[in-house]
Amino acid sequence: MIKCVNLTKIYGKSDVPALNNLNIEVPKNSIFGFLGPNGAGKTTTVKILTGLIRQTSGEFYISGIQNTINNVGLKSKIGYLGQENKMYGGMTAQNLLMFVGEIFGLSKKEREYRAFEMLDMSGLRKSANKKISQFSGGMVQRLGIAQALMGNPEVLFLDEPTSALDPIGRKEVLEFIHSLREKCTVFMSTHILNDVERICDSVAILNKGELVAYEKTDVLKNKYSDKIIEITFARNEQNFKIEDLFQGIKSVEVLNSDKNCVVLLPIEMKNAKTDLLNFITSSGIDIERFEVKSASLEDVFVKLIGGAKDE
Amino acid sequence: MNRNILFVLLKNEIAEQFRSRKLIVVLVVFFIFGLLSPITAMFMPDIISSVSESQNIKIEVPPPTWTDAVMQYIKNMTQIISFVLIITYMGVVAREKENGILVFLLVKPVKRSAIIISKYISVFFVAIIAILVSFIVSSFYTYLFFEGFIIQDFLLQNLFILFSVCSTLFVVVLFSSIFKSQIVAGILSFVAYLLISLTSQIESVSEYLPSGLIAQCNNIMQGEELSFIPIIGSIVFMSLCVVISIISFRKWEA
């Protein structure tokens, strides 16, 4: 459905490519998560794929057709919701959808039917006649996705659709995106790992313009780490630097840490558990929780991105 | 692709001008200046004599005629109004680049040239309506206050003014579509306006430029020979603005 071949983008006279030889293939009717920290090249990729900017080199295909910046015909096959979701604030939600329908050449009857279908799907039927400027962040994002779906696209591009939302707005939008599975191919760029883990079938991780990993979400999690150990410390045990604490233990690698918690990647699980428990007992550190669990996508992400940073 | 896309965009563009109150502002300004021209001409002698009396100076002011009202009208329409139009429309494309609204359209099956052409047609439409408003208001009061007013001549003068106003508006849209900042677009439009106005001092050049339009307004009033070459020159000038805008906008990366 989407195929990128050696896609590269270099802005201006910069020596460093914002995107370097990206090769991915996204299957039809799947939800694809495009992960990476800020500045990784996610938005650049989405902008190239939607014809907003030109690639420096490489090719990309959508539905088997090679796309270019001014390929109007192909734009009828895509829907797009940008990072900054700007729409005509003075319009009502219904008017906006009718306008988009008109752009796609739908008849008045078709436009009305499709607009109400989209309003129902996005849960905005009751706010159909409300001005967009009066919408909450979550409502604007849902309307943004609804307008992107108005032309019945084969591919829906979403650039950081949940990054500006509160937890309730995020939940609403994710559920809406999840409901699109089997209806169209969703290409979602984000830096929020939980979102990808919750709804994406496959995931690519990008860092500094380079593709670090590209797998099915479950395969990626299993491939990079079977199990991890997470230790939560008692709140009064904070007069030490957690990272330094485990540097001497050879059977584990510190994957991630914050104020009260450390995530460790065991090199060999049996030895790691013994070494850690012995160390905790002998040093007298007060812990609240010691858990052996499956790695989350966040753990995999930290491992991959962290590795790339070290290089 | 939808064949009526230009009409769809144009409809939206004009509706957007209503929603943003731009159209209302422009119509009110044209209404006020249409009204002010005959009123100022009518009462200026009274104002001057009352001021001079308070200063113990005696100034003889001849009684006003319709030509004073029309001259005042031409001045207002080609000078003050131009500044208002530059400020109002400097963001017509640039602001939408700045705030991201254009991206909304660019990812839809819409030709970039159609977006730009719809902007030009919408400002042309605004210019026609605005000139019509000021023409009606000004004609009514000039006819009411003065004798000998020739409305046919005034209509012809307004045709030349329409092309002058459109030339200014097309320059604004040109810079607005080239640059991303509406402030830069506004400043450059103002500079371009001044440079074009300066060419009116060189008769051999201004005859082929929008700056020659005002000279023709004066010719109509003085009953001198009329030339339509400045209108043709303006059409060529405006067409160039449209072509450059389209070329520039097709290259623009959002």
Domain at A275, CATH number: 3.30.70.980
> Smallest Cα–Cα separation from B246: which of B163, B169, B173, B186?
B173
Let me know whether A143 and A255 are in one domain.
no
Let me know whether A115 and A183 are in one domain.
yes
* 3-class DSSP assignment, residue B71: helix
Let me know whether A114 and A196 are in one domain.
yes
Interface test with A, best of B103, B113, B249 (most A CBs within 10 A): B103
Residues of B in contact with A84 (CB under 8 A): 100
A118 and A146 Cβ atoms separated by less than 8 Å? yes
Let me know whether A255 and A274 are in one domain.
yes
Residue of B nearest to A107 (CA): B2
pLDDT of B2 higher than 60: no
* Cβ contact, residue pair B20, A73, below 8 Å: no
Return d(Cα A290, Cα B52) in angstroms, integer: 96
In this predicted structure, what is the pLDDT of residue A307? Answer: 54
| pTM recorded for the entire structure | 0.82
A306 and A224 Cβ atoms separated by less than 8 Å? no
Taking CA B103 as the corner, what is the angle to CA B111 and CA B90, rounded to the nearest 5 degrees? 90
Q: How many CB pairs under 8 A join A and B?
A: 78
pLDDT of A92 higher than 90: yes
Return d(Cα B76, Cα B128) in angstroms, integer: 16
* Cβ contact, residue pair B108, A100, below 8 Å: yes
* Cβ contact, residue pair B101, A91, below 8 Å: no
In this predicted structure, what is the pLDDT of residue B119? Answer: 96
Which residues constitute the domain of residue A45?
2-216
A21-35, A62-76, B77-91, B229-243: least confidently modelled range: A62-76
In this predicted structure, what is the pLDDT of residue A311? Answer: 42
Let me know whether A40 and A163 are in one domain.
yes
B28, B29, B31, B35 alpha-carbon torsion, rounded to 10°: 140
Residues of B in contact with A90 (CB under 8 A): 16, 19-20
Average pLDDT, rounded, for chain B:
90
- Other CB atoms within a 10 A radius of the CB of residue A289 amount to 11
A16 and A209 Cβ atoms separated by less than 8 Å? yes
Return d(Cα A247, Cα A262) in angstroms, integer: 12
B154 and B70 Cβ atoms separated by less than 8 Å? yes
pLDDT digits (tens, 9 = 90+) for A45-58: 999 999 999 999 99
The reply to whether B98 touches chain A by the CB within 8 Å rule is no
Return d(Cα A3, Cα A22) in angstroms, integer: 10
Let me know whether A233 and A278 are in one domain.
yes
**Could you tell me which residue, A241 or A260, shows the higher pLDDT?**
A260
End position of a domain, from candidates A188, A216, A244: A216
Average pLDDT, rounded, for chain A:
85
Return d(Cα B175, Cα B189) in angstroms, integer: 6
* 3-class DSSP assignment, residue A62: strand
Tell whether A306 is covered by a domain. Answer: no
* Cβ contact, residue pair B12, A54, below 8 Å: no
Angle (deg, nearest 10), helices B112-145 and B66-78: 160
> Smallest Cα–Cα separation from B172: which of B189, B160, B187, B184?
B189
Beta-strand ranges (E) seen in chain A are 2-9, 19-26, 31-35, 57-62, 65-66, 78-81, 155-159, 185-190, 202-207, 210-216, 227-233, 252-257, 261-266, 287-294
**Could you tell me which residue, A138 or B163, shows the higher pLDDT?**
B163
* Cβ contact, residue pair B111, A70, below 8 Å: yes
Let me know whether A45 and A119 are in one domain.
yes
CA A85 to chain centre: 16
Let me know whether A8 and A157 are in one domain.
yes
The reply to whether B111 touches chain A by the CB within 8 Å rule is yes
In this predicted structure, what is the pLDDT of residue A129? Answer: 94
Report the run of H or E that residue A44 belongs to, with start and end: helix A42-49
Please give the tally of structural domains in chain A.
2
Of the candidates A53, A91, A103, the beta carbon closest to that of B109 is on: A103
Taking residues B6-27, report their average pLDDT.
92
Tell whether A300 is covered by a domain. Answer: no
Interface test with A, best of B4, B104, B113 (most A CBs within 10 A): B104
> Smallest Cα–Cα separation from A178: which of A170, A153, A37?
A170
End position of a domain, from candidates A154, A186, A216: A216
* Cβ contact, residue pair B101, A87, below 8 Å: yes
pLDDT digits (tens, 9 = 90+) for B111-127: 999 999 999 999 999 99
In this predicted structure, what is the pLDDT of residue A103? Answer: 94
Distance from CA of B22 to the nearest CA of A (A): 13
Let me know whether A85 and A167 are in one domain.
yes
Tell whether A221 is covered by a domain. Answer: no
Burial of A51-69, coded b for 16+ CB within 10 Å and e otherwise, reads bbbebeebebbbeeeebeb
In this predicted structure, what is the pLDDT of residue A310? Answer: 45
Ranges of each domain in chain B: 5-251
End position of a domain, from candidates A170, A195, A216: A216
Let me know whether A249 and A167 are in one domain.
no
Let me know whether A174 and A249 are in one domain.
no
Residue of A nearest to B2 (CA): A105
The reply to whether B108 touches chain A by the CB within 8 Å rule is yes
Residue of B nearest to A74 (CA): B109
Let me know whether A241 and A92 are in one domain.
no
Distance from CA of B112 to the nearest CA of A (A): 8
pLDDT digits (tens, 9 = 90+) for B60-101: 778 888 888 999 899 988 888 999 999 999 999 999 999 889
pLDDT of A259 higher than 80: no
Taking residues B247-252, report their average pLDDT.
93
Taking residues A210-228, report their average pLDDT.
78
Residues of B in contact with A76 (CB under 8 A): 1, 109
Tell whether A311 is covered by a domain. Answer: no
Identify the band that residue B58 occupies on the pLDDT scale cut at 50, 70 and 90: confident
> Smallest Cα–Cα separation from A297: which of A242, A223, A211?
A223
Residues of A in contact with B97 (CB under 8 A): none
CA B27 to chain centre: 12
ipTM, 2 dp: 0.85
Of the candidates A54, A82, A90, the beta carbon closest to that of B103 is on: A82
In this predicted structure, what is the pLDDT of residue A212? Answer: 87
The reply to whether B109 touches chain A by the CB within 8 Å rule is yes
Tell whether A191 is covered by a domain. Answer: yes
* 3-class DSSP assignment, residue A288: strand
Residues of A with a Cβ under 8 Å from any B Cβ are: 47, 50-54, 69-70, 72-73, 75-76, 78-80, 82, 84, 86-88, 90-91, 99-100, 102-105, 151, 157
Tell whether A287 is covered by a domain. Answer: yes
